[in-house]
Amino acid sequence: MTSGRFAPSPSGDLHLGNLRTALLAWLFARSTGRRFLMRMEDLDRVREGSEARQLADLRAIGLDWDGPVVRQSQRTALYENAIAFLTAAGLTYECFCTRREILEAASAPHAPAGAYPGTCRNLTDAQKSAQTRPPALRLRAEVTEFAVDDVVVGRFHGQVDDVVLRRVDGVPSYNLAVVVDDGDQGVDQVVRGDDLLSSSPRQAYLATLLGITVPTYAHVPLALNSQGNRLAKRDGAVTLEDQAALGLGPRDVLSIMAQSLELAAPDEPVTVEQLLRRFDPAALPRTPWIFET
């Protein structure tokens, strides 16, 4: 069964930009006959009560999903299996670099911008046993670039580097977990904010190494504040709770989001089912949504 998904990090309430991305992921999945899955990316930055509030807000705007909510924190064995598979194939290595060392090396002339420079790629056993800090585990990438197909952006070529697979603290990395989960859950359509576009080539490359079919991507424009920065909690009335305090219910917020997607007229009351009938990926606005509070 083919599936789409929404994969929030339960680190606080969803803001209207997050809810709009969730709505789009739901519209993309449902309009193509896919299941829609909900996955909590809770390997990092979890805030108590946040998951329940996020799910309640998603339901309040009318979204539904198939099957139980999946939590990454309960799937460590899957990630470790993938790491073991890559390690057996000679595609991993231990990295002892500090953040600071990586930044310094990466700012050296001719280093590809932002890429890990491969400092620990070929350490000898003696060099490794002389280390005093615990290592992170990195992918030994055999390419420096990879291309993905994106419904919104078109073909996108981006950088691949020796991405971290397991962090120094022993926790599987976001890039590994997202690829393993999408593969395991049969997710073949990934709809998310376009701030993650640059991560998609390395994730797609990692998928091919793990024998996972690369999903179709749709990186959708983000919501920005009036200064053109990514919408954040400090930007004012940006959550359903904030909007409720202004007298606007979830249905009003759904109308605002639908209008921003050119799926509804100003102040037109709508349901997600109506939006589903109107949804056309080709007609999606290609520019960020400026949300003025």
Q: Which residues are catalytic?
A: 233
Q: Which of 192, 206, 231, 250 binds ligand GLU (CB under 6 A)?
A: 192
- Residue 15 to residue 240: CA distance in whole angstroms: 7
Q: Which of 3, 4, 8, 61 binds ligand GLU (CB under 6 A)?
A: 8
Q: Output 217 or 291, the one with its CB closest to ligand GLU.
A: 217
In the set 3, 4, 9, 173, which binds ligand GLU (CB under 6 A)? 9
List Cα–Cα distances, 194 to 91, 250, 282, in angstroms. Answer: 29, 25, 16
Burial of 233 (0-12, 13-18, 19+ CB in 10 A): exposed
Helix axes 16-31, 50-60, angle to 10 degrees: 60
The size of the interface with ligand GLU (CB under 6 A), counted in residues, is 7
Cα 53 from chain centroid?
Answer: 19
**Positive or negative CA dihedral for 225, 231, 236, 242?**
positive
The only residue of 4, 7, 162, 224 in contact with ligand GLU, by rule CB under 6 A: 7
196 binds ligand GLU (CB under 6 A): yes
Q: Are the CB atoms for 23 and 256 separated by under 8 Å? A: no
Q: Does 41 bind ligand GLU (CB under 6 A)?
A: yes
Residue closer to ligand GLU, measured from CB, 7 or 264: 7
Out of 178, 253, 263, 284, the only residue in the binding site for ligand GLU (CB under 6 A) is 178
CB of 43 to ligand GLU, least distance (A): 9
List of residues contacting ligand GLU (CB under 6 A): 7-9, 41, 178, 192, 196
